Structure 1
């Protein structure tokens, strides 16, 4: 019993130490080889089959002589606080050293903007542990608070390099992250170049729910099975066993209650055998110059926001919590203000004031000319959604389950409304006396903008919160509200009553929408790279035209922007397509980077500003 309590304390201490950036925890088993219980994609949720299977797996692993346990991401489904607390309760019962990295299901839809994960496991998703002569370096790859490809943030790249640079001469480095090191990660070349520089012996990953050995730019890629595999009578629950011995790696599949079966073996590091495996080609180089675009800023951190525009001044936030005011002509930062966590909300400029919400549970306003703070509000949970200003009032979600109207000049809350749970992430829409917004609880809400009273709410008919209209900008035209949630339907709702008029899924539309300048066309981007224009005045679904950008599959929720007769649409791989607003003809398509576009913002002078997750800001005149 004393031994069990001691080893349990090691698990909890490793979480705490890594969260505080303390010295790397070191464990040195008295044996020449390591036996690792390697989990990935466990997808635990309250009461589901994976919860029961994971509890059984913990009991089994505790009864076997493993030296170390790794869970490489996708601990749960939506990254909710309740799910993360449940997973933490289960895995804290392991009686051996445990390393956990985050997956896309922890970072994409997190109601706490990843803060709960950091509190329970490892701050910022970074963790390093030394076991025997191996240094395991774990990091997260996103995506961050929206559908996109994975990206390793610049601050994480810096931490990875510092950790590997400080390795002992005898350390064999093992990379651990959720995604495979292929083009699923926008800066894949940057990370694989770095890992090769420090002679990384292998990288452990998951995401694709299959056991597989791959060549990730001359680094052995060891992909593990998910906790649940197969379906129906062929369903199995299990994990992977990784044995490291004599400069080789041995990968086994371990179905619960059965003997492990070897699936593959390989040399650690590069070998001739590894070189025979295919390597995915790199993504094409950017070609934005051909459309007259100019790179005006390359930030040292990631950017998850769009820009607010005031003449030549741009305002944006980054992943390390800086709000910057930058001159678009010179690229020079005029002033900056620091938040305690990442900024996901796009700043808003209005009447000499810049207002923005922060993942540090705040909403703050600043004087646009010099950055002087005018007021600050604390919220109960992180603020990650966009807001809107009308007549001196700022309307925005202010954390999970809350929406408010705030006087822009003073910060006074005029009213605050509670709406179930989940974040309201997409920009609200104001029409007359109504404010509309979607949330990650399967509902679209319509409130009285003066009182906050709920006028109606629309339910998408399902129980899967991943299909919620939480990251949708409601589009309103001709007395109708257009919504495209991840359920891949265009849904039209009567503005006055909330009655559903029609739904259509003839195209695989998802989240990214716009409206024509005259309000007569609803615009939707499909998951197949098409732009669909629908008559907004009709009582049924009538297409005006469909145009193909030619880039194929996509899921980036970046809203569609219309400016001076041109429609701008973005994908997850740094590409922008421009279409003729009247005809739908593709005017041009260009690549600006390798990561997803956050927002496309047009100003009154016809300038178009584009931000990419990799920290780039472009201007198109």
Structure 2
């Protein structure tokens, strides 16, 4: 076991036919939801951008940053250093510069396979992992490749970037620590089983947390790389843990949502759903929001695990919820995007896309961005559900978007990373 070289956790704080896709699991498009709920539209036309336009780009994001620690509070800085942007995994940004309609700033197409995880953006660099076993660092100004690092298998997870180090897991069962400037390997942690890791790491107070398909949730000591503790569940852990207060929250394919003492790994509570819990929790205002393959979005009390409410969709809920402005936005395998009232789970609006929705929702400046297997990235007015922006990629979009410095970043199964900015 090699040691950590960083000392603190401060970081940048329309398809209509049925199809089947293989990405490590067999995924069906699922069933269509009922159409009883009508969309509420604002006056005016819905803007739809189709096709693809490649434009030269310049982008400069050179600011200092810190983690946003308050639960449910959007990031106050323009960076996106980890999965869902912050430790509470709410996918919410305070960036007020980004405002649809958007235009393509640049597109990186140098990978040999698709991008599933979200990009991370720190200062002038975009970091992303690909199914071609590679971690890429791209210039945020131009999309030009800075460096690449090859792992032993697919990269599903989103990079965590802190203190000049990129922490990224691979399906080879290894967590890598890479120099953020050069891509050189600092250290590796091997789970010892060779089981894949889809979970994206979180770092707080000297401990690094992630889950594995070997059924464990791990906590590593940042100072020397030693195992602080590991917690056994009954099945795979693909969920990326959320850290709020002294607790770590995550789900397992054993159908449970867990809360552990993040310092000791002691179980605080568990809540059993009706199906595997593939996705990651979002924690806001003392409530944990998380979906299950039983088709529900759950709201649980963060301190006890007691159920606040649950909402039934027409199929699996695997993407992470975006939580902001009193709303919970997420997608389902029933092809729909939902917006619920955070306080009671009441349906505010829903929109049916052309295929399943596995991407997590990212919220910035009153717009919820989310991708679909219908090959589109959507921007919804979070209040009304109006489609205020849409981009057609060349393949599936299930990479959750990142928002940084007034730009929108996401990946696609067309082997590309996209960067969008305001049209004017």
Specify the TM-score bucket, using the shorter chain as the normaliser.
0.7 to 0.9
Give deviations 1:251-290, integer Å, cap 9, x for gaps. xxxxxxxxxxxxxxxxxxxxxxxxxxxxxxxxx9734678
Is 1:616 equivalent to 2:419 in the alignment?
Answer: no
SS in 1 for 2:229: strand
Hey, what's the Cα distance between the residues in 1 that align with 2:382 and 2:176?
Answer: 37
Alignment-derived partner of residue 159 in structure 2: 347
Using the alignment, how far apart are the partners of 1:534 and 1:469 within structure 2? 20
3-state SS of paired residue (2:197): coil
CA separation in 1, counterparts of 2:332 and 2:166? 33
In terms of fraction of residues, the more helix-rich structure is: 1
**8 Å contact from structure 1 (residues 420, 441) kept in 2:** yes
Q: How big is the shift at 1:535?
A: 2.1
**1:43-62 matches, cutoff 5 A:** none
Gaps of 5+ in 1: 1-102, 105-140, 150-283, 462-466
Distance verdict in 2 for CA 1:573–1:516, change over 3 Å: same
The one of 276, 279, 297 aligned to 1:468: 276
**Residues 375 and 526 of structure 1, relative CA distance in 2, 3 Å threshold:** closer
User: Is the 8 Å Cα contact of residues 473 and 559 (structure 1) preserved in structure 2?
Assistant: no
Number of aligned residues: 335
Q: Could you tell me how far 1:312 is from its partner in structure 2?
A: 2.1
Residue in 2 that maps onto 1:395: 209
d(CA) in 2 for partners of 1:488, 1:448: 28
Taking the aligned partners of 1:407 and 1:296, their CA distance within structure 2 comes to: 37
Structure 2: distance between partners of 1:516 and 1:497: 20
1:273-288 equivalence runs, <5 A: 286-287=51-52
The answer to whether the 8 Å contact 1:474/1:482 transfers is: yes
CA shift for structure 1 position 408 = 4.0
Alpha-carbon RMSD: 2.6
Partner of 1:431: 244
Q: Tell me: CA distance 1:499–1:311, structure 2 relative to 1, closer, same or farther (3 Å).
A: same
Cα deviation, residue 348, structure 1: 1.1
1:508 deviates by 5.3
In 2, the alpha carbon distance for the partners of 1:286 and 1:407 equals 47
- 1:447 lines up with 2:249 in the alignment: no
Using the TM superposition, give the Cα deviation of residue 142 of structure 1 relative to its aligned residue in structure 2, in angstroms. Answer: 2.1
SS at match of 1:524: strand
Give the superposition deviation at 1:597: 2.6
Q: Return closer, same or farther for 1:374/1:145 CA change in 2, 3 Å cut-off.
A: farther
* Offset from partner CA, 1:317-367 (integer Å, 9 cap, x none): 222322221213233222222212121211111121100111112111011
Q: Deviations over 1:370-399 (max 9, x none)?
A: 222221111122222222223443210133
2:135 corresponds in structure 1 to 323
Distance 1:469 1:288, change over 3 A: farther
Contact persistence 2:118–2:401 (CA under 8 A): yes
How much has 1:296 moved relative to structure 2? Answer: 2.1
Is 1:551 equivalent to 2:357 in the alignment? no
C-alpha offsets along residues 385-442 of structure 1, whole Å, 9 cap, x if unaligned?
Answer: 22222344321013321111223464332221111222x2132211211111111121
* Cα displacement (A) at 1:506: 6.0
Which of 372, 375, 385 aligns to 2:199? It is 385
Distance 1:619 1:606 in 2: 10
Distance 1:412 1:595 in 2: 39
Matching residue of 1:211? none
The Cα offsets for residues 54-97 of structure 1, whole Å up to 9 and x where unpaired, read as xxxxxxxxxxxxxxxxxxxxxxxxxxxxxxxxxxxxxxxxxxxx
SS in structure 1 of the partner of residue 304 of structure 2: coil
**TM-score (norm. length: structure 2):** 0.72
Q: Which residue of structure 1 aligns with residue 302 of structure 2?
A: 495
Partner Cα distance (1:317, 1:504) in 2: 33
What does 1:17-166 align with in structure 2 at a 5 Å threshold?
142-145=22-25, 147=27
Shift of 1:555: 2.3
8 A Cα contact 2:289 2:321, kept in partner = no
* Cα distance in structure 1, aligned partners of 2:247 and 2:410: 30
Partners of 1:516 and 1:523 within 8 A in 2: yes
Do 2:167 and 2:175's aligned partners in 1 also have CA atoms closer than 8 Å?
A: yes
For 2:232, the equivalent position in structure 1 comes to 418
> Residue 567 of structure 1 is aligned with which of 368, 374, 399?
368
1:293 aligned to 2:58? no
The answer for the alignment partner of 1:533 in structure 2 is 339
Q: Which residue of 1 aligns with 2:407?
A: 607
Matches within 5 A, 1:98-247: 142-145=22-25, 147=27
Cα distance per residue 1:462-500 (max 9 Å; x no partner): xxxxx3112x12122332222221211222222211222
Report if aligned partners of 2:290, 2:321 keep a CA contact under 8 Å in 1.
Answer: no
**Aligned pair in 2 of structure 1 residues 326, 443: CA closer, same or farther (>3 Å)?**
same
Name which structure has the greater RCO, CA cutoff 8 Å, separation 6+. Answer: 2
Larger Rg: 1 or 2?
1
Question: Contact 1:296–1:328 (CA<8 Å) still a contact in 2?
Answer: no
Instruction: State the partner residue of 2:35.
Output: none
Shift of 1:458: 1.2
1:507 Cα offset (Å): 6.0
* Ranges in structure 2 where 5+ consecutive residues have no aligned partner: 1-18, 30-48, 55-100
Q: Which secondary structure state, in structure 1, belongs to the residue aligned with residue 401 of structure 2?
A: strand
Question: Which residue pairs with 2:63 in the alignment?
Answer: none
